Amino acid sequence: NHVAVDETVIQLDTEQYWLYAAVDPESNDLLHTRLEPTRNNAIADRFFAELREKHDVDDAIFLVDGAAPLQRACRKHGLDFRYERHGNRNSVERVFREVKRRTTSFSNCFSNAEAETANEWLRSFAFAWNQLI
């Protein structure tokens, strides 16, 4: 039982935001996404708290890269994690790239969209993605 978690910068119009995402590497399902204007420990903590509320992941091993806020949040929530740049994370990187690509396309079509509109779009995209795979 693994969950891959990542954060990446995405561009919406002229603004940059941090996209947090959790993916099940076995099914490639997007478990949770969150769009934030910045990156810090409190946001990473909230992301994991929301993920734990939505899904039974307490026994999972979280696959994280070198992002200190993600590793710190795992420790704070008492979650097992493993630093991994390859292996199971490779399949999930494709999901993250696709989310990033589609978010950029969304931004190009809706150049004046607010961050909350993009966040709602991400939730809808995650639902559709999970139905199609």
The pLDDT tens digits of the residues spanning 6-48 come to 888 877 777 888 889 899 988 888 999 888 999 999 999 999 9
Two tokens, residue 113:
């969209």
Please report the domains of the chain, with CATH numbers, ordered by start residue: 2-132 (3.30.420.10)
Order of strands across the sheet that contains 80-83: 30-36, 15-23, 2-12, 61-64, 80-83
pLDDT of 90 reads: 66
The H or E element containing residue 95 is helix 88-109
* Each residue's pLDDT tens digit, 48-94: 999 999 999 999 999 998 889 999 999 999 999 998 776 666 666 78
pLDDT of 1 reads: 87
pLDDT of 126 reads: 80
Two tokens, residue 97:
């790239």
Nearest to 33 by CA among 42, 43, 21: 21
The H or E element containing residue 89 is helix 88-109
Q: Is the pLDDT of residue 122 over 90?
A: no
